Amino acid sequence: MKRRPLLLFLVVAAVALVPWIGFLLVSLPDQYQTRHWRLAWVGFDLALVILLGLAAWFGWRRRRAAVPILVATAALLCCDAWFDVVLDWNSSDRWLSLGTAVLIEVPIAVLLAVRARTIVTAGVASRELTVRDIELIVGNPSAQRLLTLLGTRVMTTDELAAAAKLSREEVRATLRELSRAGYVEASGQGWRDVPLNLRAPRPEEIAEADRPRFEAFWDAKLAHELKLFRRAFRHPERFGPWAQGSRARLVLSQSDLRRFADEYLELLDRYQLLRAEDGRDGDGEVRAVALRFYAFPDDLLTTDADGGSGRGVPVDGSHRDTP
């Protein structure tokens, strides 16, 4: 479902619930005797156990599928706390239910909700490349220098000014631009870069006046990629264990390829989350690593469809790798 119809549905549902709540308020009795009371609560707790188990499993494997599971588990815990307290309010178990809700169920629900938000926000953001991006990351040397420095560690404004040999005013102004574009964000210790996946716009969506700038950017991107590969192949000793690579040929449908690309992006999110949590690997060293994923039909690779131009080169990848 698209965003606007979904938002409209949510607004209508919220408005429609108001008179329904009023009807329940005046029509429901204070007491009601029902059957299957035991089945209702046992089934509810069984569902809670299953969700907790799934949340643990997906969380252990750092899968983004953990997000809806964590949110659903948090919602069930809040429901459990509400019904325990309300239904036991006039019984001898009132204080036990209240203590369990306040000290156990609600805190765990909050913890799970915060964890779900961390998984979402720690992943790699994705949006479409714009002319403003090209101006900022290609035509602004100060922005390039700051992004390179922030790709290594969190730095304060003063540290960036000293390392980049720029004035504090210029650093502040450039950081504001980069922050508005989604490249960096302020943290408690200073500024840090934000992993960003820039998607190439569809050719028909590019304004005619902007085409030369996009084509020049893609040509420069292609030259940068070739330079990077040439250096890696000619001087592997410079990279050591930090250089990894793999090639394969698969027979895939379009839907298979889309799922493969989605899983690749999920893998990036998982390792970005690992970096956000830990920040160090087993050897105690962390470096900014340029990652690439390309997939092309085999039959098209045997033809020179674009005459050597870089216009067909995708721009998916971290901003740190942009020339």
Residue after which a domain boundary falls, among 121, 141, 174: 121
- Judged by average pLDDT, the poorest of 28-32, 140-144, 308-312 is 308-312
Tokens of 6: 């979904």
Q: What is the pLDDT of residue 289?
A: 80
136-165 pLDDT, tens digit each: 877 889 998 998 888 778 899 999 999 999
- In angstroms, the CA 216 to CA 229 distance is 20
pLDDT category of residue 304 using cuts at 50, 70 and 90? low
Q: Residue 193's closest CA among 124, 100, 250?
A: 124
Domain count, the chain: 2
Residue 245: inside a domain: no
For residue 230, the enclosing domain spans: 125-239+250-321
Q: Maximum CA pair distance of the chain?
A: 82
Whether 198 and 280 share a structural domain: yes
Whether 101 and 40 share a structural domain: yes
- In angstroms, the CA 2 to CA 6 distance is 6
For residue 321, pLDDT over 50 is answered with no
Residue 134: inside a domain: yes
| Secondary structure percentages of the chain, helix, strand, coil, to 5 | 65, 5, 30
HSE-up (13 A, CA, CB side) for residue 264:
14
- Kindly state the helix (H) or strand (E) to which residue 198 belongs, with its residue range: strand 196-199
166-211 pLDDT, tens digit each: 999 999 999 999 999 989 989 888 998 887 778 889 888 899 999 9
Whether 171 and 196 share a structural domain: yes
- If you average pLDDT over residues 90-111, what whole number do you get? 91
User: Contact 123/273 with Cβ under 8 angstroms?
Assistant: yes
- If you average pLDDT over residues 32-58, what whole number do you get? 90
User: With the C-alpha atoms ordered 288, 259, 6, 67, is the resulting torsion angle positive or negative?
Assistant: negative
pLDDT category of residue 124 using cuts at 50, 70 and 90? low
Q: What is the pLDDT of residue 166?
A: 92
Whether 135 and 48 share a structural domain: no
